[in-house]
Structures are given as C-alpha cells and as structure tokens.
Amino acid sequence: MLSSEGKECPLAINCAGDIFAELCLRGFGERLETATAMKATVLAMRQIRKKVEKDYGVLLQ
C-alpha cells in the first residue's frame, strides 16, 4: 500500500504463528496487498487451511 506521498505504508507486522491473507484463500477476489518477509520464513499451509476451514467452513485443497 502506498501513502499519499507515494511511500510504502506497512499495514501490519506479523510474528511467529500469525495467520495473514486468509481472505484471499476464502475466495474474496483479487488482492492488491503484498507480503515481504523480514527474515528467513517458512509458511505453514496446513495451519492456514485448518483455520480457514474452522472459521469460514470452507475446505481448501
């Protein structure tokens, strides 16, 4: 996201165990945001799938 001055504007800083971008997995259309890791990172899709299935009742493949 860019500020009115055209500079990058962070929306959030996530920590270990945080889940983000679950709305795009739910199928709410195209997203414009991006995510950038500040250090070496591993994404745990299994945990994200479980949370989306539990919170939204949607099965992800």
Query: How far, in Å, CA of 55 to CA of 10, rounded?
Result: 26
pLDDT one-digit tens code per residue, 5-47: 988 888 888 888 787 776 666 666 677 777 888 888 887 777 7
> Where in the chain are the domains?
22-56
- Comparing 59 with 8, the larger pLDDT belongs to 8
Amino acid 39: pLDDT: 87
Q: Are 60 and 25 in contact (CB under 8 A)?
A: yes
pTM value > 0.75: no
Is 2 in a helix, a strand, or coil?
A: strand
The SS3 assignment for 8 reads strand
